[in-house]
Structure 1
Amino acid sequence: MDTWSLYRGTGRPLDPAERDRRWPAPPPWRAYSGGPDEPPAPVRDETAARVLGPPGAPRTPDPDEVARVNAALHLRRPLLVGGEPGAGKSALAHRIARELGLGPVLRWPVTGGSTLAEGLYGPAGPGAVRLGPLGTALLPRRLPRVVLVDDLDRGGFDLPDELLAVLHTGEFTVPELLGSGDTMVHTCEPGGIAAVHDGLVRCHEPPLVVATTGGERDLPTGFVRACVRLELPRMTREGLAELARARFPAVPSEILDALVDRATGEPARTGQLLDALHLVATGALGAIREGEEERSAALDTLWSWAAMEGS
């Protein structure tokens, strides 16, 4: 059980030496021979700070989330994450990457026109190739990268099965580079480069794919069966309060609690809550109350200012 609990769901980074000690071997049928390994992923992760807040902020783990993430890590299977808007589907990918020190999340936002090719590679000017987020994650590495495939159900019907096929083989080819020997290509990260031999990209440690779905349509049965499925519950009042206090510890508790009460609904308005608290932290509430003596009326005004579509 010591090696099982790799992901803990607390949001706190795991000591790298402890992570390496616990890191599980893959099932024999999901072991890949790519190499030599690329350098470790970048340490600096500004996106995680925006999404999750500062490292070390307290978070109460959800046992089902912890168990299913660890199952995906041990089995090297994609993690298929559903839930209402505001449940934290995308944030989960960033939390896994932060806890396990796997570098910034490589995000692939899927739209109706998305193809597998755009996730793998594309042109980067005359005679140059740039790997997409999935292609970058399939480069050989000692530790996996986390790929967030956001809103997979918005893509074409065949896209999930095509994604699954690449993950099963752990490799893909860039036809433009076949027979060219060692070629330097751009990755999807700023300033990133990597060597590709004869147009073949083959992983060593397969990426952890976190695919989110908003329930717009059913995904192919074969893809769903190949994933570890996780349905995130609606954000509770307690969860919202924990998030709010971690991000805005200086906001007075009576103001924070009042805004948390307004954010608790179907679905929880997480984004609107954070925006309203930011306005409080920057002094907006004091300015509003100069013209509105009742705190409730001032909070109504603040809440309306923070309203956003889809929050």
Structure 2
Amino acid sequence: MSFSSTTTYIAPPDLTVAVNAAVTLERPLLVKGEPGTGKTELARQVATHLGLEFVEWNIKSTTRAQQGLYEYDAVSRLRDSQLGDPRVEDVKHYIKRGKLWQAFTSDARVVLLIDEVDKADIEFPNDLLQELDRMEFHVYETGETIRAKHRPIVIITSNNEKELPDAFLRRCFFHYIRFPDAQTLKQIVSVHFPDIKERLLTTALTQFYEIRDTPGLKKKPSTSEVLDWLKLLLAEDLTPEDLARDGANALPKLHGALLKNEQDVALFERLAFMARRDGR
């Protein structure tokens, strides 16, 4: 099994090396990077490219590691026992399987995505150490041990919102997705907008990188945001000349696709004010 760029996803050489190394080592691939750089989409593309089922576990601040294994609904069992329901004799009726259980018991190898692991409590990664290492876990209510029929390809994403434990990091193959350079970004854009005119693309990406490099920017626009912006430019049939910025207006056209908070909008308004003042 070997992963590479697909018709809908441009993977830089270092990223393909990381994916294939993790598969070879049978270690989880921990992927970090700015939001919007394609971390989640990477897992989907790996599954599609390798022809494997895709299992996705989206992590929230309230998610517990146990939920990925299974949950025991004791309340429902108690209620059913009070109603005389015969199902209470079999505790399995009250076991809800989690995403790891689903991935472990699949009849074929799967790609398991644990998305945004850093959103959960700091102990969350530690609580999954043994399960991801041994590819098995114990169900205390039934006394059975669930073992992986086929070791899944595990991809874990993080937005770097908090540090992950060293013991967890030791068990992973790590890769940081750097923001793509101009040439790689052009390739990415061409996948989504194959008919975009070269002059418009060059002008738009030049302006986009200027915006990203503006000192004091609170949130730099990401790959997904530049794709949204280009989609709007094409929908409005704007030309390279329409994108021109001057001292009177430093804000880019349709800036709401790129600037996502009032501080950054105010920053560009201040730049416009300073440019007008210096021009007098």
Normalised by the size of structure 2, how large is the TM-score?
A: 0.71
Contact 1:263 1:272 in 2 (8 A): no
In the alignment, does 2:184 pair up with 1:239? Answer: yes
In the alignment, does 2:230 pair up with 1:272? Answer: no
Which residue of structure 1 aligns with residue 13 of structure 2? 63
Task: Give the deviation of 1:86 after TM superposition.
Answer: 3.2
In structure 2, C-alpha distance between the alignment counterparts of 1:301 and 1:208, rounded to whole Å: 42
Structure with the bigger percentage of helix:
2
In structure 1, C-alpha distance between the alignment counterparts of 2:260 and 2:221, rounded to whole Å: 13
Task: Give the deviation of 1:78 after TM superposition.
Answer: 0.6
Deviations 1:31-77 (Å, cap 9, x if unpaired)? xxxxxxxxxxxxxxxxxxxxxxxxx2473x53322222222111211
Aligned residue pairs, count: 232
Q: What is the one-letter code of the residue matched to 1:271?
A: S
Identify if the C-alpha distance between structure 1 residues 123 and 242 changes in structure 2 by more than 3 Å, giving closer, same or farther: farther
Q: Secondary structure at the match of 1:285?
A: coil
In structure 2, C-alpha distance between the alignment counterparts of 1:257 and 1:243, rounded to whole Å: 13
- More off after superposition, 70-79 vs 167-176: 167-176
Which residue of structure 2 aligns with residue 10 of structure 1? 5
In the alignment, does 2:27 pair up with 1:77? Answer: yes
Which residue of structure 1 aligns with residue 102 of structure 2? 136
Q: Secondary structure at the match of 1:212?
A: strand
Structure 1 unpaired stretches of 5+: 1-5, 12-55, 180-198
In the alignment, does 2:122 pair up with 1:157? Answer: yes
Which residue of structure 2 aligns with residue 284 of structure 1? 236
Structure 2 unpaired stretches of 5+: 77-92, 214-219, 246-250, 262-280
In structure 2, C-alpha distance between the alignment counterparts of 1:97 and 1:274, rounded to whole Å: 23
In the alignment, does 2:69 pair up with 1:113? Answer: no
In structure 1, C-alpha distance between the alignment counterparts of 2:49 and 2:133, rounded to whole Å: 26
In structure 2, C-alpha distance between the alignment counterparts of 1:140 and 1:103, rounded to whole Å: 9
Deviations 1:215-248 (Å, cap 9, x if unpaired)? 2222111111111111122221112111111101
Aligned partner of 1:223 among 165, 168, 171: 168
Normalised by the size of structure 1, how large is the TM-score?
A: 0.65
Q: Secondary structure at the match of 1:251?
A: coil
Q: Secondary structure at the match of 1:82?
A: strand
Q: What is the one-letter code of the residue matched to 2:133?
A: H
Q: What is the one-letter code of the residue matched to 1:65?
A: L
- Large movers: runs of 4+ above 6 Å: none
- More off after superposition, 156-165 vs 218-227: 156-165
In structure 2, C-alpha distance between the alignment counterparts of 1:308 and 1:109, rounded to whole Å: 26
Q: Secondary structure at the match of 1:216?
A: coil
In the alignment, does 2:258 pair up with 1:307? Answer: yes
Deviations 1:243-265 (Å, cap 9, x if unpaired)? 11110112222222322223333
